[in-house]
Amino acid sequence: MSNHTIVTEFLLLGFSDMREEQILHFLVFLAIYLAAMVGNLLIITVIALNQHLHTPMYFFLGNLSFLDLCYISVTVPKSMSDSLTNNRLISFSGCVTQVFLVITFTAAELAFLTVMAYDRYIAICRPLHYKVTMNRGACAQLAVGSWISSMMCSVLHTTNTFRLHFCRSNVISQFYCDIPQLLKISCSDIRANVIVMTALGSLLDVVCFVLIIVSYIHIFSTVMRIPSEQGRYKAFSTCIPHLVVFCLFISTASFTYMRPRSMSSTSLDLMAAVLYCVVPPLMNPIIYSLRNKEIKRSLWKMIGRNFFFSRGMNFSH
């Protein structure tokens, strides 16, 4: 190791070295980031201000919107700053922090999607037990458990990654610190890291995937037995947005980490990272607001109330 230079900072590859394309990347990411921020903040605000939405389903949806805000804020602002200033360096501690937060919010997203599937299962398949099973204490425990387990998973992955030595290169072929890219530039033996990352990631994905699929098998079989068409529509309208969000997240995650190495290239890795880190936080509020009548109704009420209040203030002056 004495013949190698120990890496103290990393260079993020980014999307382009051409100034025009960097500016375009900044503008596109800025538009996406603002849209994601506004969409998720609107959902959080609507849920917080509307007493009728103070139910377990919307409590978990509020948590999902909050973590989506955090998730996209970990990678996109740094990438925009890099494009604007053309300075793509990130400190070692900054890289550690970014890896820890990305894994925390990724695992938390999967955990909350699983909890939301369980909530819909109890609401539709066991409606008489819903208020007892999904009481405030149970909801708080499920939320806290999701956050703590996600952080523990992140601590394991982050510690396992940064115990390695980085001395071959400091160039990360990505627009944020990503574990697979960090393993590529390590001069340590990474076999144990690959085994732990694959085993733990597969276990988490399979457990959550099976729980969600089993929940929805029971949900759809119960819904199809509802005699009234209006009742079936109401049940489906609360489930379809969640199922679409889950499919979007799991498909982008699978494309990012499960595709064969023969399909790996710098441009494809960058596109996969955008699909995985940027698209879900942007699309989740759109999917929920378009498919959920209560969210739309509450949103229009809030906008209308603020509009007429501002008009009244103007007239009073």
Q: How many domains does the chain have?
A: 1
- What is residue 112's predicted lDDT score, i.e. its pLDDT? 93
Asked if the structure places residue 313 within a domain, the reply is no
- What is residue 2's predicted lDDT score, i.e. its pLDDT? 45
CA nearest 12: which of 253, 215, 181? 181
Asked if the structure places residue 310 within a domain, the reply is no
The pair of structure tokens assigned to 7 is 């890496």
139's CB contacts (< 8 A; 6+ apart) are 56, 59, 60
Asked if the structure places residue 309 within a domain, the reply is no
- What is residue 312's predicted lDDT score, i.e. its pLDDT? 54
Q: Is 227 helix (H, G, I), strand (E, B) or coil?
A: coil
Asked if the structure places residue 89 within a domain, the reply is yes
pLDDT tens for the chain, residues 1 to 317: 444 557 778 988 877 778 888 899 899 999 999 999 999 998 998 888 888 888 898 999 999 999 999 999 999 999 999 888 888 899 999 999 999 999 999 999 999 999 999 998 998 889 899 999 999 999 999 999 999 999 999 999 999 999 888 877 888 888 899 888 888 888 888 888 888 887 887 788 888 889 998 998 888 888 888 777 777 777 777 778 878 888 877 777 777 666 666 666 777 778 878 888 888 898 888 887 766 677 777 777 776 766 555 555 554 55
Asked if the structure places residue 117 within a domain, the reply is yes
How many Å apart are CA 208 and CA 149, to the nearest integer? 13
Residue 89: DSSP 8-state: E
pTM: 0.85
Q: Break the chain down into helix, strand, coil percent, rounded to 5.
A: 80, 5, 20
CA nearest 90: which of 174, 177, 187, 184? 177
Strand partners, 90: 10
Asked if the structure places residue 125 within a domain, the reply is yes
Asked if the structure places residue 295 within a domain, the reply is yes
Asked if the structure places residue 316 within a domain, the reply is no
- What is residue 1's predicted lDDT score, i.e. its pLDDT? 42
Residue 15: DSSP 8-state: S
Q: For residues 172 and 11, is the Cβ–Cβ distance under 8 A?
A: yes
Q: Which domain does 231 fall in, by range?
A: 9-301
CATH number at residue 107: 1.20.1070.10
The pair of structure tokens assigned to 3 is 């013949």
